[in-house]
A and B are shown apart, each in its own frame.
Chain A
Amino acid sequence: MNWVLLQNSLLVSALTSVLSVTLGLVAALWITGLESRWQNALLAAAVATLVLPPFLVVNCWLQLLGMAGLWRRWLPFNIYSLGGTVWVLTLLTWPIALLLVRGAWQRLERGHLETDPLFGGWPLLKRLLIPLGRPALAQSALLIFVLALNNFAVPTILQTKVFPAELWIRFNTTFDYGEALWLSWPLVVAPFLLVAWLSRRVISWPSVEGPVPPRLFRQRLGAGWFWLCGISTVILFLLATGLPLAQLLGAPKTWAELPKALAAGQQALWHSFAFAASAATICVALGLMTWRRPWGAVLWLPFFIPGVLLGMALIFVLNRPLFSAVYQSAAIVVLGLTLRYVAVAWHGVAHALRSTDRDLADAARLEGASGWQLLRHVEWPQIASPLAVAWYVTYLLCLWDVETLVLIVPPGGETAALRIFNLLHYGHTAQVNALCLLLLLLALLPWILWQTGRGVAHMFRRLLEFFQARTLFTASHFTVGYRLFGNGFNRRDAKDAETNVLVISAFFASLRFAMSWPWIGAPRHWKKACLAGTMAVGVGLALAGCSPPASSEAKLESAFFSRAQVIGSRGAGAGQFSKPRSVALDGADNLYVADMTGRVQKFSSNGVFISSWQMPQTDIGKPKGMCRDQQGNIVVIEPHYSRVNHFSSEGKLLAQWGINGTHAGQLMFPRAAAVNSRGEIYVSEYGAVERVQRFTELGAQFLNAFGARGNGTGEFNRAEGLGTDAQDRVYVADSCNHRIQVFSADGRFLRAYGTAGAGLGQLSYPYDVRVDGRGNQFVCDYGNSRIQVFDARDRPLEIVGGPGAAPGQFNNPWAIALDSASNLYVADSGNHRVQKLLRRP
């Protein structure tokens, strides 16, 4: 045990705690006296301070007060010291005290301040404001103490040796978890002692009236105090928020990297928001359910223990087959965050509920209010604000959590905070700054949504009052059921969109009517029946209304194709698809589609479903790769079974061939097939071998093979598609080389074209290629979600479609096929449909 390090840690934490709470109190004094719009703006700024990453703030202050700092000459303060560490940590944590104290002072009433006209200034602070805010001050002191105690990065940069270094050594070098846990006892005991000291009996302050007007508060506080606090707070904001934000926003590279950071980190940002919001909600809900229980102190334990130890404990408990569904999913992340931060929310909720007006509750109970009614009508208006603060502080803590998550985040479930710290390690400073900016927005998102929601709710309320809701009660349900969940949402024209908006308004109006019946006095069973009926009709119509959208068309701006027709929709029923990957046509231009359900479905040339059949085996893989043989039968490849199937147009299996292996004539993961005019069949393979093999009809005899792995001439890197032309040349969609290669019938290399990219003439993972009678080449450009047309000389002519879900747009198309009229069928996999592009005459 290194007592020097422990002493440093305790000193840093204690000083940070005291200073932060003091500054938070000063800021709260000033902000409470401002008008509401200024209050909101400054609270948002405080949240921004809280969300600023520590390394950003430290770098900012090193630039100012470091050895080569700008302010070093006239402010000889050594930032590389314990004092410097306390200063920076204070700047990072003071908003916690501000937010919690503001929540506590929501209980201030006019009566408190108007009791005595001479009651103001220091006596007001000493006898009213501080006692009222004592629990919040205590909680914020504790929070800040623990956060500072566990912080390793900031003290280390500022050359203050702290106790957590001991823990990291145990983890990093010797993997000695037992020793690490044992060594962490000061980090647990010290805060526990603080909890015990701070958890003295406190006075509850129930609120009967609304919050005190800012003007009255200002008057009572006194001009001197108000402006002193104001100036201090402004300076504090400038130092804590303004300077680091200016550095962040002022770097041009930050803005240049922002789009890329957003594109690359979309999923991480979503995970951050979802995990933090879920965990905060669960924490508050647990607080609401269990606030009476005497385990408030125990809940702090997971918060005090270093996050990595909590992660290790979760792995030990949940990394078992029984809990694999939890361990391998987002549930473990939410569970970890909930365990870690539930104490914060729990105590906030408990304090809020203990402070409700008991007389009001008693009066409501005497009137016969049930538990839910009591919560909704009596307690909720009183506790909403403190609850929101508790939720928000918990949300922010979860948003920036790294230590707890790094050991338990499921693969692919990284958060923005984890991403930031990985990029930081590798010096991607501009991307890091851009992600920090996005995380800042994420931190403000609940507040923005709240303000927006209030505005929208207010607008809706006005609309509801205007429309006579009761007359729309019945009609709106049936209309909504059809329009909202039937075909309405699937249509794209404006007229239907307007209708939908009006109907949605009517739906909510009728719902509002159903819920606006007075709870006291009306027969209970009527109310329940009405509400239940409303919800049941809505849900039932919703489920019944989920019908597949009818085929739709769109005009195309193309020299080759006039319109695009959509065939099928998402699903597993007849005429529906689940990621269709292959298409083929028979002699009568009937369409055959293979998808991930393992079926082959047959449609007429105008998209009407005719029949389907299931592939015999789909356990280890689904079919992929189709064409038509010389007899007009449908060829279906089964890559995982290394075989080729020939089906009649009715789905009868006529022939099956293929032996698993890498030798000549054997098949190893075939992907595509094409048949030339002589009936010879070409099969491409990738993975263990990269080649195209040529066989006689029905694979009776192996003829030759060409190609090898690589990116050189005649080499392949995933030959995903094959096509032939009238001269029996073979066209290979060499997808991972982003090109099309052309060979003679016997496999001699002729030419190649295409480079990686998204421009005209460029390709991104071309998955299929077809050639029409005039030599025009149609390339299925998977990566760019489009079809590209080249002429017989490989010159790019046009691009058809692009990413999207509207008719004429595509989402990672896998395969194409041409019919006798040169209409092009596209397996639009990501949109779970097939599109028929009608050729211009």
Chain B
Amino acid sequence: MVVLSSEDSMTHERLEISKVRRLSRFRRWRGQYYELPVTSYQLPVTSYLFSLLTWTLICLLAGCTGNAPPFVVVYTSQDQVYAEAILEHFTHETGIEVRAVYDSEAVKTVGLANRLLAERPHPQCDIFWSNEELRTRQLAAHDVLREANPWQAIGYRTRRLVINTNRLSLAAAPAALTDLTNAVWRGKMALAYPLFGTTATHFLALRQQWGEERWQAWCRALQANRPFLVDGNSVVVNLVGRGEAWIGLTDSDDIAAGRRDGLPIAELPLTGETLIIRNTVAVVRGAPHAAAAEKLFDYLQRVEVAEKLVIANALEGVSATSLTVPALKPDWNSLLRDLDAATAALKDIFLR
């Protein structure tokens, strides 16, 4: 046993005091975070068990997949109610389970395309089933889709003007998109932000048709007419249906949905300024389940699949070639090339 001399004891005491002071200073400095007294206890061992449990939980949730039956992964922006029925039928026919990811209105149809791009180094998806063409072409341009026979078009819908039949008669409705800049429609028109989705595609196609100058003038006049700019085509239909707006520019399937809900709306006939929006089905480059993807790719191109979607009003027709009315025929490559410039112009006009 070591006995300290009184001198040693005093030295020891001084050392202890200084240690405590240093500790106190340290704790004061950290006082913002540590408000416990000096006699704080050590972190209980149990908390480390908690952490182990937590990460064990995460690992357990990481999926005991076991021996899974064959399956194929599809990302689709189709109407989930109808897509599920079609994919279920495919499962029954082939025995291949379909695991689907559906797109969401909340992120303005950005989700799936961005996800495919982000997953490009290690694709998780086999089939991309889209309800519009531009996105598919963009993905093809970014080498997200396979090289040979990357995608096919199936069925179509169109961009239309819709009116509230309680506010406006068909005879008094505007005949062309250029009429929307007329002052009579000031504050009575609704459209989705022309920077997203099919509205953006439609505006870009119009730009190609009319030329830059005329198109910009029309856009500025449209903006000056104080339209309701909303975040989705279905919102356009709701606004028109409620009478908040008298006329709207939207997609035909949204109009059909509104009519199904009993809204007092009617769509105007097709014109030369109509844009045809084709559904597409594409195979992802490096699809992890190639054989199953091929089967689903073939299955979704069947006429009866498009017919089911037509019956459900998710599509207008099975084949766009059957349309007799002239519509916009955009040069898609040129459209993609001019995308940035056109978007900047639209931003400048509509996002001030």
Contacts and interface: CB of A to CB of B under 8 A. Distances in A.
Interface string B315-352: 00000000000000000000000011001000100011
Interface string B182-209: 0000000000010111001000000000
Interface in B278-322: 314
B225 to A, nearest CB: 14
A531 interface: no
A174 B200 CA distance: 12
A288 B46 CA distance: 11
B9 interface: no
B62 A331 contact: yes
A159 B228 contact: yes
Contacts of A335: 58
Interface string B34-77: 11110101111111101101100111011101000000011100
A765 B88 CA distance: 12
A316 interface: yes
A75 interface: no
A427 B58 contact: no
Contacts of A375: 44, 46
Interface stretch (A222-230, A416-424, A817-825): A416-424
B54 A282 contact: yes
Most buried by B among A2, A166, A319, A717: A319
Contacts of A159: 228-229
A423 B63 CA distance: 28
Contact of B234 (A80, A311, A426): A426
Contacts of A327: 124
Given A294-B30, A330-B63, A422-B102, A371 B44 contact: yes
Nearest to B75: A411
Nearest to B295: A687
Interface stretch (B11-19, B111-119, B169-177, B210-218): B111-119
Interface residues of B, number: 96
B93 A426 contact: no
Interface string B141-181: 01000000000000000000000000000000000000000
A153 B231 contact: yes
Given A294-B30, A312-B114, A426-B253, A278 B101 contact: no
A521 interface: no
A418 B118 contact: no
B195 A173 contact: yes
Contacts of A765: 92
A83 B46 CA distance: 51
Contacts of B122: 319-321, 324
Contacts of A409: 101
A201 B32 contact: yes
B67 to A, nearest CB: 8
B104 A402 contact: yes
Interface string A291-329: 011101000000000001001100110011100111111
B195 A402 contact: no
B33 interface: yes
Nearest to B67: A596
Contact of A371 (B41, B58, B92, B339): B41
B100 A412 contact: yes
A425 B79 CA distance: 8
Contacts of B36: 358
B235 A157 contact: yes
A425 B104 contact: yes
Contact of A426 (B51, B57, B114, B314): B314
A172 B110 contact: yes
A285 interface: yes
A329 B61 CA distance: 7
A289 B47 contact: yes
A414 interface: yes
Contacts of A292: 33-34, 43
A171 B110 contact: yes
B268 to A, nearest CB: 19
A362 to B, nearest CB: 6
Nearest to B73: A411
Contacts of A308: 107, 110-111, 114
A421 B63 contact: no
Contact of A173 (B43, B74, B339): B339
Contacts of B53: 285
Contacts of B253: 426
B21 interface: no
Q: Which of A204, A370, A426 counts the most chain B CB atoms within 10 A?
A: A426
Contacts of B343: 169, 173-174
A316 B118 contact: yes
A62 interface: yes
Contacts of A522: none
Interface string A269-300: 00000000010001001101100111010000
Contact of B57 (A80, A172, A278, A431): A278
B124 A334 contact: no
B151 to A, nearest CB: 18
A735 B79 CA distance: 26
Contacts of B111: 308, 406-407
A288 B314 contact: no
A195 B352 CA distance: 30
A631 interface: no
Contact of A175 (B34, B74, B117, B254): B117
A365 interface: yes
Interface stretch (A63-71, A479-487, A506-514): A63-71
Contacts of B271: none
Nearest to B121: A319
A177 B122 CA distance: 18
B44 A427 contact: no
A718 interface: yes
B350 to A, nearest CB: 9
A172 B108 contact: yes
A165 B257 contact: no
B237 A427 contact: yes
A243 B147 CA distance: 54
B237 A156 contact: no
A169 B108 CA distance: 10
A238 B235 CA distance: 25
A412 B74 CA distance: 10
B312 to A, nearest CB: 10
A239 interface: no
B244 A421 contact: no
Given A59-B238, A407-B118, A421 B44 contact: no
Contacts of B108: 168, 172
Contacts of B119: 315, 319
Given A173-B339, A422-B102, A286 B54 contact: yes
Nearest to A176: B340
A736 interface: yes
B242 A63 contact: yes
Contact of A736 (B92, B261, B347): B92
A198 interface: no
Interface string B72-88: 01110001110010000
Interface of B: 30-37, 39, 41-48, 50-51, 53-54, 57-59, 61-63, 65, 73-75, 79-81, 84, 89, 92-94, 99-111, 113-115, 117-119, 121-122, 124-125, 138, 142, 193, 195-197, 200, 228-232, 234-235, 237-239, 242-245, 253-254, 257-258, 260-261, 314, 339-340, 343, 347, 351-352
13 contacts: A156-B230, A175-B117, A201-B31, A264-B81, A308-B110, A319-B122, A330-B61, A361-B41, A365-B39, A371-B47, A402-B106, A406-B106, A428-B257
Given A296-B33, A319-B124, A372-B44, 20 more contacts: A157-B235, A169-B351, A175-B142, A199-B32, A289-B51, A292-B33, A312-B114, A325-B63, A327-B124, A362-B39, A374-B41, A375-B44, A406-B107, A407-B111, A421-B106, A422-B102, A425-B104, A426-B253, A427-B234, A427-B260
The 8 A-B residue pairs with the shortest CB-CB distance in the complex, in nearest-first order: A371-B44, A427-B257, A329-B63, A411-B99, A425-B105, A68-B243, A412-B99, A406-B111
